[in-house]
Amino acid sequence: MRLVLLFITRYLFSKKRTNFINIITGISFFGVMIGTAALVVVLSVYNGLEDLTKTMYSRFNPDIRIVPERGKWLDGKTLQLEVSRFSEVKRSSLVLEENAMLRYDQQEFIGTVKGVDANFAKVTGIDSFLIRGNYQLWDDFGLPYAIPGSGVAYTLSISLQDFRNALEIYVPKTGKIDLMRPDAAFNKRVILPAGFFDVQPDINSRYTLVPLAFMQELLGLDSTKASAVELRLQSGTAVKAFRKTLQAHLGNTFRVMDRDQQEDAIFRIFQTEKWWTYLFLLLIVLVAAMNLVGALSMLVIEKQRDIALLFSLGANRGHIRLIFLGLGLFITCLGAGLGIGLGAAISWLQETYALLEFEGSENFLVSAYPVKLRLNDLVVTLGGVLFIGLLCSIYPAMRAAAVFERLRFSKE
Protein backbone atom coordinates (compact mmCIF):
# COMPACT_ATOMS: atom_id res chain seq x y z
CA MET A 1 0.00 0.00 0.00
CA ARG A 2 2.93 2.36 0.61
CA LEU A 3 4.07 1.82 -2.97
CA VAL A 4 0.55 2.43 -4.25
CA LEU A 5 0.25 5.67 -2.24
CA LEU A 6 3.70 6.77 -3.42
CA PHE A 7 2.73 6.45 -7.08
CA ILE A 8 -0.68 8.10 -6.50
CA THR A 9 1.04 11.12 -4.90
CA ARG A 10 3.67 11.28 -7.64
CA TYR A 11 1.16 11.09 -10.50
CA LEU A 12 -1.04 13.69 -8.83
CA PHE A 13 1.54 16.42 -8.23
CA SER A 14 4.32 15.73 -10.75
CA LYS A 15 4.37 17.46 -14.10
CA LYS A 16 3.24 15.25 -16.98
CA ARG A 17 5.18 15.02 -20.23
CA THR A 18 1.96 15.74 -22.09
CA ASN A 19 0.79 19.13 -20.79
CA PHE A 20 -2.72 18.51 -22.11
CA ILE A 21 -3.24 15.93 -19.34
CA ASN A 22 -2.60 18.63 -16.73
CA ILE A 23 -5.14 20.91 -18.41
CA ILE A 24 -7.85 18.23 -18.57
CA THR A 25 -7.18 17.19 -14.97
CA GLY A 26 -7.41 20.81 -13.84
CA ILE A 27 -10.70 21.31 -15.68
CA SER A 28 -12.11 18.17 -14.08
CA PHE A 29 -10.89 19.24 -10.63
CA PHE A 30 -12.40 22.73 -10.83
CA GLY A 31 -15.62 21.37 -12.34
CA VAL A 32 -16.06 18.99 -9.41
CA MET A 33 -15.21 21.76 -6.93
CA ILE A 34 -17.67 24.32 -8.35
CA GLY A 35 -20.39 21.70 -8.83
CA THR A 36 -20.01 20.51 -5.25
CA ALA A 37 -20.11 24.09 -3.92
CA ALA A 38 -23.30 24.71 -5.95
CA LEU A 39 -24.85 21.56 -4.47
CA VAL A 40 -24.15 22.73 -0.91
CA VAL A 41 -25.49 26.24 -1.54
CA VAL A 42 -28.67 25.09 -3.31
CA LEU A 43 -29.49 22.48 -0.63
CA SER A 44 -28.90 25.13 2.05
CA VAL A 45 -31.31 27.51 0.29
CA TYR A 46 -33.97 24.80 0.23
CA ASN A 47 -33.40 24.23 3.95
CA GLY A 48 -33.80 27.95 4.58
CA LEU A 49 -37.03 28.12 2.60
CA GLU A 50 -38.39 25.08 4.44
CA ASP A 51 -37.53 26.57 7.85
CA LEU A 52 -39.08 29.90 6.84
CA THR A 53 -42.29 28.15 5.78
CA LYS A 54 -42.39 26.22 9.06
CA THR A 55 -41.95 29.48 10.96
CA MET A 56 -44.84 31.13 9.10
CA TYR A 57 -47.18 28.17 9.61
CA SER A 58 -46.19 27.92 13.30
CA ARG A 59 -47.94 31.25 13.86
CA PHE A 60 -51.24 29.53 13.10
CA ASN A 61 -50.63 25.82 13.62
CA PRO A 62 -50.18 24.40 17.13
CA ASP A 63 -47.37 22.13 18.34
CA ILE A 64 -49.78 19.16 18.35
CA ARG A 65 -53.18 18.77 16.70
CA ILE A 66 -55.58 15.91 17.52
CA VAL A 67 -58.36 15.08 15.06
CA PRO A 68 -60.80 12.16 14.82
CA GLU A 69 -59.62 9.26 12.67
CA ARG A 70 -63.15 8.90 11.27
CA GLY A 71 -65.88 11.47 10.99
CA LYS A 72 -65.71 15.24 11.41
CA TRP A 73 -66.45 15.89 15.08
CA LEU A 74 -65.14 14.69 18.42
CA ASP A 75 -66.07 15.12 22.08
CA GLY A 76 -63.74 18.03 22.69
CA LYS A 77 -64.31 18.53 26.40
CA THR A 78 -63.56 14.91 27.28
CA LEU A 79 -60.47 14.73 25.08
CA GLN A 80 -59.20 18.07 26.37
CA LEU A 81 -59.46 16.82 29.94
CA GLU A 82 -57.67 13.59 28.98
CA VAL A 83 -54.64 15.26 27.36
CA SER A 84 -54.31 17.92 30.08
CA ARG A 85 -53.06 15.17 32.43
CA PHE A 86 -49.76 15.03 30.55
CA SER A 87 -47.12 17.25 32.11
CA GLU A 88 -45.76 18.12 28.65
CA VAL A 89 -49.00 19.94 27.75
CA LYS A 90 -48.89 23.63 28.62
CA ARG A 91 -52.22 24.74 27.13
CA SER A 92 -54.99 23.25 25.03
CA SER A 93 -57.65 24.74 22.79
CA LEU A 94 -60.84 23.46 21.14
CA VAL A 95 -61.43 24.42 17.50
CA LEU A 96 -64.27 23.79 15.08
CA GLU A 97 -63.63 24.21 11.34
CA GLU A 98 -66.00 24.12 8.40
CA ASN A 99 -66.07 25.44 4.86
CA ALA A 100 -68.61 28.21 4.42
CA MET A 101 -69.72 30.99 2.13
CA LEU A 102 -68.98 34.50 3.37
CA ARG A 103 -70.77 37.59 2.12
CA TYR A 104 -70.00 41.23 2.82
CA ASP A 105 -71.70 44.11 1.06
CA GLN A 106 -72.60 42.06 -2.05
CA GLN A 107 -69.14 40.48 -2.22
CA GLU A 108 -69.03 36.67 -1.83
CA PHE A 109 -66.22 34.26 -0.99
CA ILE A 110 -65.85 30.55 -0.20
CA GLY A 111 -63.43 29.94 2.66
CA THR A 112 -62.85 28.14 5.94
CA VAL A 113 -64.42 29.44 9.13
CA LYS A 114 -62.62 28.34 12.28
CA GLY A 115 -64.35 28.56 15.63
CA VAL A 116 -61.81 29.03 18.43
CA ASP A 117 -62.00 29.30 22.20
CA ALA A 118 -60.29 31.78 24.50
CA ASN A 119 -57.10 29.66 24.71
CA PHE A 120 -56.45 29.67 20.95
CA ALA A 121 -54.33 32.83 21.02
CA LYS A 122 -52.21 31.40 23.86
CA VAL A 123 -51.72 28.13 22.00
CA THR A 124 -50.68 29.71 18.67
CA GLY A 125 -49.77 33.35 19.36
CA ILE A 126 -52.11 34.52 16.58
CA ASP A 127 -52.95 37.71 18.50
CA SER A 128 -49.40 38.96 17.85
CA PHE A 129 -49.95 39.02 14.08
CA LEU A 130 -52.88 41.41 13.72
CA ILE A 131 -52.33 44.17 11.17
CA ARG A 132 -55.61 45.99 11.76
CA GLY A 133 -58.04 46.22 14.65
CA ASN A 134 -57.97 44.08 17.78
CA TYR A 135 -57.95 40.40 18.63
CA GLN A 136 -61.45 40.25 20.13
CA LEU A 137 -63.88 37.34 20.01
CA TRP A 138 -66.56 38.78 22.34
CA ASP A 139 -67.37 42.25 23.62
CA ASP A 140 -68.62 43.17 27.09
CA PHE A 141 -72.23 42.72 26.00
CA GLY A 142 -71.74 39.18 24.68
CA LEU A 143 -71.65 40.22 21.00
CA PRO A 144 -69.41 37.91 18.87
CA TYR A 145 -66.70 39.20 16.55
CA ALA A 146 -64.87 37.70 13.59
CA ILE A 147 -61.17 38.03 12.70
CA PRO A 148 -60.65 37.29 9.00
CA GLY A 149 -57.27 36.83 7.36
CA SER A 150 -55.92 39.78 5.41
CA GLY A 151 -56.52 37.94 2.11
CA VAL A 152 -60.16 37.25 2.98
CA ALA A 153 -60.62 40.88 4.07
CA TYR A 154 -59.12 42.11 0.79
CA THR A 155 -61.30 39.80 -1.35
CA LEU A 156 -64.49 40.88 0.44
CA SER A 157 -63.41 44.55 0.80
CA ILE A 158 -64.13 44.44 4.53
CA SER A 159 -63.82 47.75 6.39
CA LEU A 160 -63.56 47.97 10.18
CA GLN A 161 -65.11 51.45 10.06
CA ASP A 162 -68.20 50.35 8.14
CA PHE A 163 -70.87 49.66 10.76
CA ARG A 164 -73.69 49.43 8.21
CA ASN A 165 -72.55 46.06 6.86
CA ALA A 166 -71.84 42.87 8.78
CA LEU A 167 -70.12 39.69 7.68
CA GLU A 168 -72.69 37.05 6.72
CA ILE A 169 -71.69 33.39 7.08
CA TYR A 170 -73.60 30.57 5.38
CA VAL A 171 -73.12 26.82 5.95
CA PRO A 172 -75.29 24.14 4.32
CA LYS A 173 -77.80 22.26 6.44
CA THR A 174 -77.79 18.48 6.55
CA GLY A 175 -80.72 16.55 5.13
CA LYS A 176 -82.97 17.13 2.13
CA ILE A 177 -82.99 20.43 0.24
CA ASP A 178 -86.26 22.18 -0.63
CA LEU A 179 -85.76 23.24 -4.24
CA MET A 180 -88.63 25.74 -3.88
CA ARG A 181 -86.71 27.51 -1.09
CA PRO A 182 -82.98 27.13 -1.73
CA ASP A 183 -82.20 29.83 0.87
CA ALA A 184 -83.61 27.51 3.55
CA ALA A 185 -80.84 25.00 2.78
CA PHE A 186 -78.31 27.13 4.68
CA ASN A 187 -77.76 28.17 8.24
CA LYS A 188 -76.95 31.86 8.36
CA ARG A 189 -75.41 34.07 11.04
CA VAL A 190 -74.07 37.60 10.93
CA ILE A 191 -71.02 38.86 12.78
CA LEU A 192 -68.96 42.04 12.89
CA PRO A 193 -65.22 42.03 12.04
CA ALA A 194 -62.85 43.12 14.81
CA GLY A 195 -59.49 42.94 13.02
CA PHE A 196 -57.39 41.27 10.35
CA PHE A 197 -54.50 38.86 10.88
CA ASP A 198 -51.50 38.28 8.59
CA VAL A 199 -49.39 35.14 9.13
CA GLN A 200 -48.95 33.37 5.77
CA PRO A 201 -50.52 34.02 2.33
CA ASP A 202 -52.31 30.66 2.05
CA ILE A 203 -53.80 30.98 5.53
CA ASN A 204 -54.59 34.69 5.14
CA SER A 205 -56.64 34.05 2.01
CA ARG A 206 -58.53 31.06 3.43
CA TYR A 207 -59.33 31.40 7.14
CA THR A 208 -61.71 33.48 9.22
CA LEU A 209 -61.69 33.13 13.02
CA VAL A 210 -64.94 33.27 15.00
CA PRO A 211 -65.87 32.30 18.58
CA LEU A 212 -66.26 28.57 19.17
CA ALA A 213 -69.78 28.92 20.61
CA PHE A 214 -70.82 30.99 17.57
CA MET A 215 -69.55 28.25 15.24
CA GLN A 216 -71.25 25.48 17.25
CA GLU A 217 -74.56 27.37 17.03
CA LEU A 218 -74.08 27.94 13.30
CA LEU A 219 -73.55 24.21 12.71
CA GLY A 220 -76.27 23.14 15.14
CA LEU A 221 -73.87 21.28 17.45
CA ASP A 222 -73.80 21.10 21.23
CA SER A 223 -71.14 22.84 23.32
CA THR A 224 -68.92 19.74 23.65
CA LYS A 225 -68.33 19.20 19.94
CA ALA A 226 -65.15 20.23 18.14
CA SER A 227 -63.23 19.21 15.04
CA ALA A 228 -59.83 19.18 16.77
CA VAL A 229 -57.97 19.73 20.02
CA GLU A 230 -54.83 21.83 19.60
CA LEU A 231 -51.97 21.73 22.09
CA ARG A 232 -49.08 23.95 23.05
CA LEU A 233 -46.29 22.01 24.73
CA GLN A 234 -43.89 22.99 27.47
CA SER A 235 -40.64 24.53 26.30
CA GLY A 236 -37.97 21.91 25.64
CA THR A 237 -40.40 19.05 25.00
CA ALA A 238 -39.30 16.57 22.32
CA VAL A 239 -42.34 17.07 20.09
CA LYS A 240 -41.96 14.02 17.85
CA ALA A 241 -41.35 11.66 20.78
CA PHE A 242 -44.33 13.09 22.69
CA ARG A 243 -46.54 12.79 19.61
CA LYS A 244 -45.80 9.06 19.48
CA THR A 245 -46.48 8.70 23.20
CA LEU A 246 -49.79 10.56 22.93
CA GLN A 247 -50.81 8.57 19.84
CA ALA A 248 -50.16 5.29 21.66
CA HIS A 249 -52.19 6.54 24.64
CA LEU A 250 -55.20 7.68 22.59
CA GLY A 251 -55.20 4.69 20.26
CA ASN A 252 -56.53 4.44 16.72
CA THR A 253 -59.64 6.53 17.42
CA PHE A 254 -57.69 9.75 17.01
CA ARG A 255 -54.86 10.99 14.80
CA VAL A 256 -52.14 12.99 16.51
CA MET A 257 -50.11 15.30 14.25
CA ASP A 258 -47.10 17.53 14.84
CA ARG A 259 -46.52 20.69 12.80
CA ASP A 260 -44.82 18.91 9.92
CA GLN A 261 -47.69 16.44 9.59
CA GLN A 262 -50.30 19.22 9.71
CA GLU A 263 -48.86 20.63 6.47
CA ASP A 264 -47.56 17.31 5.18
CA ALA A 265 -48.28 18.01 1.50
CA ILE A 266 -46.33 21.28 1.46
CA PHE A 267 -43.25 19.87 3.18
CA ARG A 268 -43.33 16.74 1.03
CA ILE A 269 -43.19 19.01 -2.04
CA PHE A 270 -40.20 20.80 -0.51
CA GLN A 271 -38.35 17.53 0.01
CA THR A 272 -39.23 16.24 -3.46
CA GLU A 273 -38.02 19.43 -5.17
CA LYS A 274 -34.89 19.50 -3.02
CA TRP A 275 -33.73 15.99 -3.89
CA TRP A 276 -34.67 16.23 -7.56
CA THR A 277 -32.55 19.38 -7.70
CA TYR A 278 -29.79 17.46 -5.94
CA LEU A 279 -29.89 14.73 -8.63
CA PHE A 280 -29.95 17.32 -11.41
CA LEU A 281 -26.88 19.13 -10.04
CA LEU A 282 -25.19 15.78 -9.46
CA LEU A 283 -25.58 15.09 -13.19
CA ILE A 284 -23.81 18.40 -13.87
CA VAL A 285 -20.97 17.27 -11.59
CA LEU A 286 -20.90 13.97 -13.53
CA VAL A 287 -20.49 15.85 -16.82
CA ALA A 288 -17.61 17.86 -15.31
CA ALA A 289 -16.03 14.71 -13.88
CA MET A 290 -16.15 12.90 -17.25
CA ASN A 291 -13.03 14.87 -18.16
CA LEU A 292 -11.34 12.75 -15.52
CA VAL A 293 -11.88 9.64 -17.65
CA GLY A 294 -9.97 11.19 -20.53
CA ALA A 295 -7.19 12.55 -18.31
CA LEU A 296 -6.60 9.21 -16.57
CA SER A 297 -6.81 7.26 -19.83
CA MET A 298 -4.14 9.49 -21.37
CA LEU A 299 -2.07 9.10 -18.21
CA VAL A 300 -2.22 5.31 -18.58
CA ILE A 301 -0.75 5.63 -22.08
CA GLU A 302 1.97 7.98 -20.84
CA LYS A 303 2.91 5.80 -17.87
CA GLN A 304 3.27 2.44 -19.63
CA ARG A 305 7.02 2.41 -18.82
CA ASP A 306 6.16 2.93 -15.13
CA ILE A 307 3.70 0.04 -15.31
CA ALA A 308 6.44 -2.14 -16.77
CA LEU A 309 8.79 -1.06 -13.97
CA LEU A 310 6.16 -1.93 -11.36
CA PHE A 311 5.78 -5.35 -12.97
CA SER A 312 9.53 -5.89 -12.64
CA LEU A 313 9.33 -4.89 -8.97
CA GLY A 314 6.71 -7.59 -8.34
CA ALA A 315 3.48 -5.58 -8.50
CA ASN A 316 0.34 -7.43 -9.56
CA ARG A 317 -2.72 -6.43 -11.56
CA GLY A 318 -4.60 -5.33 -8.43
CA HIS A 319 -1.84 -2.88 -7.50
CA ILE A 320 -1.96 -1.21 -10.92
CA ARG A 321 -5.76 -1.01 -10.85
CA LEU A 322 -5.65 0.44 -7.33
CA ILE A 323 -3.11 3.14 -8.29
CA PHE A 324 -5.29 4.64 -11.04
CA LEU A 325 -8.53 4.08 -9.16
CA GLY A 326 -7.05 5.79 -6.10
CA LEU A 327 -5.72 8.65 -8.24
CA GLY A 328 -9.17 9.36 -9.66
CA LEU A 329 -10.77 9.19 -6.23
CA PHE A 330 -8.08 11.41 -4.73
CA ILE A 331 -8.65 14.12 -7.36
CA THR A 332 -12.41 13.87 -6.86
CA CYS A 333 -12.09 13.90 -3.07
CA LEU A 334 -9.84 16.96 -3.15
CA GLY A 335 -12.24 18.82 -5.44
CA ALA A 336 -15.26 17.76 -3.39
CA GLY A 337 -13.59 18.76 -0.12
CA LEU A 338 -12.69 22.23 -1.37
CA GLY A 339 -16.17 22.56 -2.95
CA ILE A 340 -17.90 21.68 0.30
CA GLY A 341 -15.70 24.16 2.15
CA LEU A 342 -16.48 26.89 -0.41
CA GLY A 343 -20.22 26.13 -0.43
CA ALA A 344 -20.37 25.98 3.35
CA ALA A 345 -18.52 29.31 3.62
CA ILE A 346 -20.92 31.01 1.17
CA SER A 347 -23.95 29.58 2.99
CA TRP A 348 -22.59 30.61 6.40
CA LEU A 349 -21.88 34.15 5.23
CA GLN A 350 -25.40 34.48 3.79
CA GLU A 351 -26.98 32.98 6.91
CA THR A 352 -24.94 35.17 9.28
CA TYR A 353 -24.63 38.47 7.43
CA ALA A 354 -27.52 38.34 4.88
CA LEU A 355 -25.27 39.53 2.05
CA LEU A 356 -27.77 38.84 -0.75
CA GLU A 357 -31.07 40.64 -0.17
CA PHE A 358 -34.37 40.64 -2.06
CA GLU A 359 -35.04 43.60 -4.30
CA GLY A 360 -37.82 45.59 -2.65
CA SER A 361 -37.31 43.59 0.54
CA GLU A 362 -39.63 45.86 2.52
CA ASN A 363 -42.55 44.01 0.90
CA PHE A 364 -41.36 40.55 1.99
CA LEU A 365 -41.46 38.65 5.27
CA VAL A 366 -37.66 38.41 5.19
CA SER A 367 -35.18 40.85 3.71
CA ALA A 368 -32.55 38.33 2.52
CA TYR A 369 -32.50 34.90 0.93
CA PRO A 370 -33.05 32.34 3.72
CA VAL A 371 -30.24 29.80 4.09
CA LYS A 372 -29.72 26.96 6.56
CA LEU A 373 -26.59 24.80 6.53
CA ARG A 374 -27.11 21.19 7.67
CA LEU A 375 -24.49 18.52 8.31
CA ASN A 376 -26.49 15.68 6.70
CA ASP A 377 -26.61 17.60 3.41
CA LEU A 378 -22.81 17.92 3.45
CA VAL A 379 -22.48 14.17 4.01
CA VAL A 380 -24.94 13.32 1.21
CA THR A 381 -23.20 15.74 -1.16
CA LEU A 382 -19.76 14.30 -0.42
CA GLY A 383 -21.06 10.73 -0.84
CA GLY A 384 -22.69 11.52 -4.18
CA VAL A 385 -19.63 13.27 -5.61
CA LEU A 386 -17.27 10.50 -4.47
CA PHE A 387 -19.53 7.92 -6.10
CA ILE A 388 -19.25 9.87 -9.35
CA GLY A 389 -15.46 9.95 -8.95
CA LEU A 390 -15.44 6.19 -8.46
CA LEU A 391 -17.50 5.65 -11.62
CA CYS A 392 -15.19 7.88 -13.65
CA SER A 393 -12.08 6.09 -12.34
CA ILE A 394 -13.15 2.51 -13.03
CA TYR A 395 -12.56 2.54 -16.81
CA PRO A 396 -9.00 4.02 -16.69
CA ALA A 397 -8.10 1.64 -13.84
CA MET A 398 -9.32 -1.35 -15.86
CA ARG A 399 -7.41 -0.08 -18.88
CA ALA A 400 -4.21 0.23 -16.83
CA ALA A 401 -4.73 -3.34 -15.58
CA ALA A 402 -5.14 -4.49 -19.20
CA VAL A 403 -1.81 -2.83 -20.11
CA PHE A 404 -0.21 -4.65 -17.18
CA GLU A 405 -1.60 -7.98 -18.45
CA ARG A 406 -0.18 -7.39 -21.94
CA LEU A 407 3.23 -6.67 -20.44
CA ARG A 408 3.05 -9.77 -18.28
CA PHE A 409 2.15 -12.03 -21.19
CA SER A 410 4.86 -10.49 -23.41
CA LYS A 411 7.46 -11.21 -20.72
CA GLU A 412 6.30 -14.76 -20.41
Surface-to-core class of residue 317, CB atoms within 10 Å of its CB (0-12 exposed, 13-18 middle, 19+ buried):
middle
Question: pLDDT in tens for each of the 412 residues of the chain?
Answer: 676 777 777 777 776 666 777 888 888 999 999 999 999 999 999 999 999 888 888 889 999 999 999 999 999 999 999 999 999 999 999 999 999 999 999 899 999 999 999 999 999 999 999 999 999 999 999 999 999 999 999 999 999 998 889 999 999 887 566 555 556 778 999 999 999 999 988 999 999 999 999 999 999 999 999 999 999 999 999 999 999 999 999 999 999 999 999 988 888 998 999 999 999 999 999 998 888 898 888 888 888 888 877 777 777 888 889 988 999 999 999 999 999 999 999 999 999 998 888 775 555 567 788 999 999 999 999 999 999 999 999 999 998 888 877 766 665 5
- Which residues on adjacent β-strands are paired with residue 262? none
Tell me the one-letter amino acid at 286. L
